[in-house]
Amino acid sequence: MLRSPLQWYDAYLFDLDGTIFLGDELLPGVERLMAELRARGRTVKFLSNNATKDPAQYREKLAGMGLEVPVEDIANTVVTTTQWLVAHHPGASLFVIGEEPLQRALREARFRLTEDPAEVDIVVASYDRAFDYRKLQIAFDAIWFHKRAFLIETNPDRYCPFPGGRGEPDCAAITAAIEACTGVKCQVSLGKPSPLMLEAALGGHDLDPGRCLMVGDRLMTDIQMAIDAGMASALVLTGESTVDDVLAREERSRPTYVVERIDHLLPTLAPGGGA
């Protein structure tokens, strides 16, 4: 089942949590792979469904682990959620169940954030480590009682992986609580596998999707986004998904490559280091 690329790609897109790092440590092989990709002039982008940091904060986190990355090479659900709301619902009043980086970005985009259920147009569910019954009640009242608001989510992840095989409940848990009590369904999910994440990462780059490789640790988000976009994909076994998970999927829903560690993406037979 393990399979590594035998060719170089023009662009490499990497998930962050569970793929590049766990907790506050780079995963084995990351530095080696990045050095080689940069030496060959490949386009490298980093994507995350985690909205508890904005791209500038992710840049600082990566720098603290010894990996220097330009902020413009990082896109996450703070970016995609803000961009989508600006494009589709400018001027909406929002109730944001999410942490300060997401709230700050939405305020800077001139959205009005409110906790008055009678004024809420859109409930935005996200990864929020301060989620409580009060916030659930506001969402319930805005959607069910006032019948005014609808529900969107920043990402569909069930949990965020932590070192030692642990994790923390993520956005999908909060979305599920709101859906359960209101009887409504989330209308839009703005993280991987949504193509909006690819647009945020690759906007301004004239790249053939067939010459891009998406690398991540989750079949339902990272790998599914690549499949939907016609991109090659690589599952790295350092986060959520396992070989058994891959084998349980239909052939057309499996990643192109499966590697135990990220530097196994370096081709062993790349002609001329070629393009």
pLDDT tens-digit profile, the chain (275 residues): 899 999 999 999 999 999 999 989 999 999 999 999 999 999 999 999 999 999 999 999 999 999 999 999 999 999 999 999 999 999 999 999 999 999 999 999 999 999 999 999 999 999 999 999 999 999 999 999 999 999 999 999 999 888 888 889 999 999 999 999 999 999 999 999 998 888 888 877 888 889 999 999 999 999 999 999 999 999 999 988 999 999 999 999 999 999 999 999 999 644 344 44
Model confidence, pTM: 0.89
For the range 21-27, what are the long-range contacts, defined as Cβ-Cβ under 8 Å and sequence gap of 24 or more? 21/61, 21/62, 21/65, 22/161, 22/162, 22/163, 22/238, 22/239, 23/162, 23/163, 24/61, 24/64, 24/65, 25/65, 25/163, 26/65, 26/66, 26/67, 27/236, 27/238, 27/261, 27/262
Reduced to 3 states (helix: H, G, I; strand: E, B; else coil), residue 42 is coil
Superfamily of domain 8-25+48-208 in CATH is HAD superfamily/HAD-like (3.40.50.1000)
The stretches of the chain forming alpha helices (DSSP H) are 30-39, 55-64, 77-88, 100-108, 133-140, 171-182, 195-202, 224-229, 243-247
Domain coordinates of the chain in residue numbers? 8-25+48-208
Tokens 């690759």 correspond to what residue?
202
Question: Is-contact 10 42, C-beta < 8 A?
Answer: yes
Tokens 């529900």 correspond to what residue?
151
Q: Which two tokens stand for residue 103?
A: 């709230």
